[in-house]
Amino acid sequence: MPDENLRDLNAFVVVAEEASFTRAAARLGVSQSALSQTVRNLEERVGIRLLNRTTRNVSPTEAGERLLSRVAPALEQIGQGFAQLGSLLERPSGTIRISADEYAIQSLLWPALEPFLFRYPEINVELVTDYGRTDVVRERFDAGVRRGKLVSKDMIAQRIGPDVSMAVVGAPSCFSERKRPKRPQDLSDHACINLRLPTHGEFFAWTFSGGGKDLRVTTEGRLVFTSIIQVRLACLAGFGLAYLPLDFVSQDIAAGDLVEVLGDWRKTFEGYHLYYPNRRHHPPALSALIDALRHRG
């Protein structure tokens, strides 16, 4: 329905409710002559008189009564709908779906979400663990979290975390019979615990940095997991070396439960970014989360 019809119908309803063009004009904030012309335009379009006018009174005709009985409730519902939008902006609600890898969820999203959820009790959050280059629009996510270089160029990306340094670690028992590796190639002499990316089935590559170049090494061992939490636990138990974010195992290293090797070859990846479609207006719940994460970036 054209906007002019809604505007003119609203004018008609207000005049019928006030039974006066003067009072209706004051209520709508327009001149009496402009209001009269609006109602006449509506009557011309529908082809029938809607209001009886006298010098002292204004009342709906039979056609006007029928139209009023249908239109007035509908306009009231429209007004309530806009009022609810206003309250939504003040108190965001609804469900936010986010795609992120496991480390991003644990190290960045959950620390921000815990106070966020207490602040906004009407917001629900669904976190989906995913290591692929997820198309958040096609998969119906509100946003995704990936390292900067993995974000598509057509997305709005906002950095929410520092660079991520990777570390090769092992329990002290791993080096009781075998020498500590001095070069990435020496990992072939050690049992290594691999992470299989659940999204597309590949092993997470052990990547090192040296001499201005990156080096990828294929590692082997008895254990393969799809979760870095299990990789860390198996590493702590002495089942092999693991390739994990340094921040994820820093406390274990400080406590002496794990030992870092190949520190001179440590690879550092660009930090995580929150990304979402380039839309002019976002759901209030997502806007609130973006703001919360922005202050942590």
Which amino acid belongs to residue 166? Answer: M
Question: Are 23 and 107 within one domain?
Answer: no
Model confidence at 288: pLDDT above 80: yes
- Average pLDDT over the chain reads 86
Question: Are 61 and 130 within one domain?
Answer: no
Question: Are 19 and 84 within one domain?
Answer: yes
CA distance 93 to 287: 11
Question: Are 42 and 32 within one domain?
Answer: yes
Among 23-37, 102-116, 184-198, 253-267, the minimum mean pLDDT is found in: 23-37
Q: CATH no. for residue 61?
A: 1.10.10.10
Residues of the chain above pLDDT 70, percent: 92
Residue 151's pLDDT is what? 81
Q: CATH no. for residue 265?
A: 3.40.190.290
Calculate the CA dihedral of residues 144, 146, 150, 156 and round it to 10 degrees: 50
Question: Are 124 and 63 within one domain?
Answer: no
Q: Are residues 227 and 207 in contact, defined by beta-carbon separation less than 8 angstroms?
A: no
Q: Which residue has the higher pLDDT, 3 or 225?
A: 225
Question: Are 199 and 258 within one domain?
Answer: yes
191-240 per-position pLDDT tens digit: 999 999 876 678 999 999 988 899 999 999 999 999 999 999 999 999 99
Question: Are 21 and 60 within one domain?
Answer: yes
Question: Are 100 and 26 within one domain?
Answer: no
Question: Are 68 and 117 within one domain?
Answer: no
How many domains in the chain? 3
Residue 125's pLDDT is what? 93
Q: CATH no. for residue 290?
A: 3.40.190.10
Domain boundary among 65, 90, 115: 90
Indicate the pairing of strand 206-210 with strand 123-129: unpaired
Residue 280's pLDDT is what? 60
Residues spanned by the domain of 10:
3-90
Domain boundary among 90, 124, 151: 90
Question: Are 101 and 132 within one domain?
Answer: yes
Average pLDDT over residues 276-282: 72
117-164 per-position pLDDT tens digit: 999 998 999 999 888 777 888 888 999 999 877 788 888 888 999 999
Residues of the chain above pLDDT 90, percent: 45
Q: Are residues 266 and 166 in contact, defined by beta-carbon separation less than 8 angstroms?
A: yes
Question: Are 213 and 242 within one domain?
Answer: yes
What's the pLDDT band for 83 if we cut at 50, 70, 90? low
Average pLDDT over residues 278-286: 74
Model confidence at 99: pLDDT above 80: yes
- pTM summary value: 0.68
Domain boundary among 54, 72, 90: 90
Question: Are 201 and 261 within one domain?
Answer: yes
